Amino acid sequence: MTKDIVHTAIDVGTSKVSTLIAHRHANGDVDVLGVGIAPSEGLRKGVVVNIQEAQEAIRTSVAEAKRSAGVNPSSAYVGVSGSHIEVFPRWGSLRSLMYNAPLSPSEIDRAVDAAFPAELPPENQVLHLIPRLYAVDGLKGVRNPVGMHAQRLDVETLCIVGQTAPIQNLVTAVENTKINVRALVASPVSTGEASLSRDEKEMGVTLVDIGGGATTVSVYQQGCLWNAAVLPLGGYQFTTDLAVALNTPYDTAEELKMRHGQASLDTIDDENVEIQAFGDRRTVRVERRVISRYLHDRAEELFRLVGLKVKGFGFPAMPPAGIVLTGGGANLPGIERVARRILGTPVRTADPVGVDGLPEGMLDPAYVASAGVLLWGTRHLASLDSVRKEERRLNKTSGYAQNTTGPLSWLRERVRKVAL
């Protein structure tokens, strides 16, 4: 098996580090060869706060995947998450040098180039510049203008940026394990790749990825990502609520949440649960209804914030295909019911799709982002030529071409990778 058909994805989250090594067939199918999962260390809310601890967790995850796959990859697609990610629209345009000539792929690339935010400050870096819709000589709503005759081409793109320092820390932690970062994939992009159907993306759907330290809200419409935002609220906050309210250690609160908690109060019983507590009382008894009340209140807050974000995107009502929940937080019993009541729309929970050979234990909402990083890489950045093409295009239009020295120059060259 040659190197160019083996792909590796690393998803570094607040609660776990997941590594997938896979083979991509000529027909586009992706088969997993090996997986590695390790508890996450050195991260908070999706951001590296201790490089040494983070790189050891990554090293453990990658080593496990290497053993199970029987291959030794040298590069990987890496998922980026956290509340530092921002999303905003950008517009670019191109006027043809030849009267009414057909548009070529290179001319479309040039139009997208024009949308690059050259005025972006050095503390931010572009992760993706994704075309949404085109307008050809004023005709709006065009999805693929290749071959169309036009004098003017306008493109509306979605620009996803992240802060330079968190990205640099993540890249450093990964590359300290002898794995080159081939491309960075933002969470709003990866989760939709492995969870949504084509019909949902066309009709309009809201994807809510409830991670350990943050929740990503993404709206898809007309077949593509339309807008996204990251909320600094995730499973960690659910557990912390319990730990603080019940005066119990965090690990005990996490176990309590997983074994006895639920977000909906409709079907809860009055069973008592014995838990470890701080202070002179070694154990206390707590009703399950009390435990679930704290989880219910936090879930309500989360989905009210989701509703506000979607309205902020310009949608007066939730998109018709409803809500799709992913991430480890989607496993909390009753959370679908809370989302349905608060947002008044259909709700489903998604397992990862599009990847063959995942272990049964990874057919779980918690691993949608991991599978999505792999799928995005294999579908959009499957060859080094495509990665280099995007690097050349961004370097050409980024406004940093004259500034080739300084402490941030290496990072700019590394992370300025755009996926179309």
Residue entry with tokens 């609660």? 15
Torsion of CA 246, 250, 256, 261, to 10 degrees: 80
Q: Distances from the Cα of 275 to the Cαs of 60, 209, 332, in angstroms?
A: 32, 30, 19
Q: Are 373 and 77 in contact (CB under 8 A)?
A: yes
Distance (Å, whole) CA 122 – CA 341: 43
Q: Which among 88, 121, 126, 95 has a CA at the least distance from the CA of 110?
A: 95
Model confidence at 4, pLDDT cuts 50, 70, 90, reads very low
- How far the first Cα of the chain sits from its last, in Å, is 28
Q: Are 147 and 139 in contact (CB under 8 A)?
A: no
Distance (Å, whole) CA 159 – CA 182: 20
Q: Which residues contact 56 (CB under 8 A, 6 or more apart)?
A: 41, 42
pLDDT tens column, 218-245: 999 999 999 999 999 999 999 999 999 9
Both tokens assigned to 160:
């996803």
pLDDT tens column, 334-362: 999 999 999 999 999 999 999 999 999 99
Distance (Å, whole) CA 30 – CA 133: 29
Both tokens assigned to 12:
């570094």
pLDDT of residue 326: 97
Q: Which among 87, 84, 82 has a CA at the least distance from the CA of 314?
A: 87
Model confidence at 160, pLDDT cuts 50, 70, 90, reads very high
pLDDT tens column, 248-270: 889 889 999 999 899 998 877 77
Q: Are 355 and 168 in contact (CB under 8 A)?
A: no
Domains of the chain, first to last = 1-84+163-195+351-420 (3.30.420.40), 196-350 (3.30.420.40)
Burial status of residue 327 (CB atoms within 10 A of its CB: 0-12, 13-18, 19 or more): buried
pLDDT tens column, 80-132: 998 899 999 999 988 877 767 788 888 888 888 899 998 889 899 999 999 98
Q: Are 51 and 42 in contact (CB under 8 A)?
A: yes
